[in-house]
Structure 1
Amino acid sequence: MNPIVASIIDTPLFVGMSGLELNAVSAFLEPRRYARGDIICRRGDPGTEMFIVRTGSVASLAVDRDGNDRQLYEFGPGRFFGEMSIIENEPRSATCIAVEATELLVLEGLDFFRLVWEHPMIGSRMLSSMAHVMAGWLDEASGFLHDLVRWGETARKRAVTDELSGLFNRRFIEEASRSRFSRNSTEAPVCSALMLDLDRFHTLNERYGTQAGDSIISAAGVAFGKLVRDGDVAARLAGDEFAFFMPDAGPEEALAAAERIRAETESLFFDLRATAGSELNRVVLSASIGVASSPGDATDPDGLFAAADRALFKAKESGRNRVARFAG
């Protein structure tokens, strides 16, 4: 048996997983050793890794209301920590120190999201186990972690989605595109990216208010989510900026998808009031979309989205409510 699988098979985080699933997880885990007193992570550091104790033990220290360090937990073999910073994309809330010679299995944040993307059942089971185990820790802490632990069964969704639009978030689409490119070490894969702006959204937001603007973003998110293929990623980046990643889609397929999205956007309308008691105005949406494809337009994910963004600029400069392809 794989030695890493042998050491995690009975841990609460991986309970109920099959041998194949455990082998898939083990490929992402890096063994790392610490001497007694070594600091594993500091409070306030960026949270880019989570840890599973293989041997030894780790103390978790946080600051109490008087400003003093207080030991929250001592993590023994099979326990895990650091997952909140990955899930919430927030700095570390505690300092963790090796109590004795300790070996940890380390899961990088990037690899965590690859697991969620490439093996959704594994990701779902891990997060369910996290929520169950952490419920017990909350009882042990007698409320001390009330402000530190703020997630439960919806953790997986909140980690990867934009709340207002219901689509994926920027972090997820970036990880998904990087994962797709990383699988092809010798040549860039066939895939496409779309960048979309809602036309004159800022003017609408200023005239009708942020509540109306939020309603527009929410409705657009619902519409966009229904138009993508299985395996595609639709995401809201910020404000009225959206992006789409289409694995295995060439230029023609991407252009056709962009035109469907543009036409669907044009079918959305809202009856809005500029001020309370004023007349209703019918507002019809439109969108400008830029399209770029790999390997023709770019050979890495950052270059692909940059090319799509330049094509988006061209669509807006050409009069908006249209699709433009990257032209070099």
Structure 2
Amino acid sequence: MTAESPSRTIETRRHQMFPTLGVADIERVRRFGTPRHYGRGDCLFRAGEPGPGMFLVLKGTVAITQRDGLGRVVPIERQGPGQFLAEIAQLSGRPALVDGHADEDVEALLVPPEQLRALIIAEADLGERLVRAMILRRVALIESGGSGPVLIGPPQSAPLLRLQNFLQRNGHPYHVVDAT
């Protein structure tokens, strides 16, 4: 997902990761969400902070970015009308792994975590597509190594390997900077 380490998942499964919902699906989501308006440049969610839930863009465009180990902003995706902003962490209110900012004025539905879980159960076929996309997004972030903590140290050091093993077991993306 970054220029340095593109994700194979995002290259081969983009259509499943970033689907555009049709009018009927948007109406099904509407009863679980609350309309929100964001001005150009507003932050919808920030990496490291608990996400408010899933956003379904009705109008406008949202830029999804991540910051690398040096604080540089790396673009991931731009999402517009009919697309939703969420990854699997939004089901439990865990911290976001990426940033989302309005590129222009945005109208969206915000579906909080508890309502998102209710949506997935009540609308099983739609819920399956949403969960698949969220899981694939998480996999792509893990593959790219561009999100999450930055581990700095010699590649074969025991403490670094323990940290890597812990993060891998917990499905958490990370990036390693070789300090040798």
TM-score (norm 1): 0.34
The secondary structure found in structure 2 opposite 1:115 is helix
- Equivalenced residue count is 130
Identity of aligned residues (%): 26
Cα contact 1:54–1:78 (8 A) shared by 2? yes
| Structure whose alpha-carbon radius of gyration is higher | 1
| Superimposed CA distance per residue, residues 81-137 of structure 1 (whole angstroms, 9 cap, x where no aligned partner) | 123322465201122111111111211111111123344344224324x269749x9
RMSD, matched Cα: 3.3
The question of 1:40 aligning with 2:44 is answered: yes
Q: Higher helix fraction: Structure 1 or Structure 2?
A: 1
**CA displacement at 1:57 relative to structure 2:** 0.9
The secondary structure found in structure 2 opposite 1:74 is strand
The question of 1:12 aligning with 2:19 is answered: yes
Cα contact 2:97–2:147 (8 A) shared by 1? no
Instruction: Identify the structure with bigger relative contact order (alpha carbons < 8 Å, sequence gap 6+).
Output: 2
**CA displacement at 1:53 relative to structure 2:** 1.6
The question of 1:67 aligning with 2:71 is answered: yes
Cα contact 1:13–1:126 (8 A) shared by 2? no
The secondary structure found in structure 1 opposite 2:37 is strand
Following superposition of structure 1 onto structure 2, how do residues 313-328 of structure 1 map, counting pairs within 5 Å?
none
Q: Equivalent residue for 1:26?
A: 30
The question of 1:116 aligning with 2:116 is answered: no
The 3 A distance-change label for structure 1 pair 97 and 22 is closer
- 2: distance between equivalents of 1:134 and 1:95? 14
Range with bigger deviation, 63-72 or 92-101: 63-72
Amino acid at match of 2:61: S
**Which structure 1 residue ranges, 5 or more long, are not aligned?**
1-10, 149-328
- 1: distance between equivalents of 2:91 and 2:100? 18
Amino acid at match of 2:58: R
The 3 A distance-change label for structure 1 pair 37 and 114 is same
The question of 1:102 aligning with 2:102 is answered: no
The secondary structure found in structure 2 opposite 1:113 is helix
**CA displacement at 1:79 relative to structure 2:** 2.2
Following superposition of structure 1 onto structure 2, how do residues 64-213 of structure 1 map, counting pairs within 5 Å?
64-87=68-91, 89-128=93-132, 130=133, 134=137, 138=140, 144=144
The 3 A distance-change label for structure 1 pair 25 and 78 is closer
Amino acid at match of 2:94: E
**Which structure 2 residue ranges, 5 or more long, are not aligned?**
1-17, 149-180
Amino acid at match of 2:42: D
Q: Equivalent residue for 2:59?
A: 55
| Superimposed CA distance per residue, residues 138-170 of structure 1 (whole angstroms, 9 cap, x where no aligned partner) | 4xx8x536767xxxxxxxxxxxxxxxxxxxxxx
- 2: distance between equivalents of 1:74 and 1:122? 22
**CA displacement at 1:22 relative to structure 2:** 5.8
The 3 A distance-change label for structure 1 pair 67 and 126 is closer
The secondary structure found in structure 1 opposite 2:57 is strand
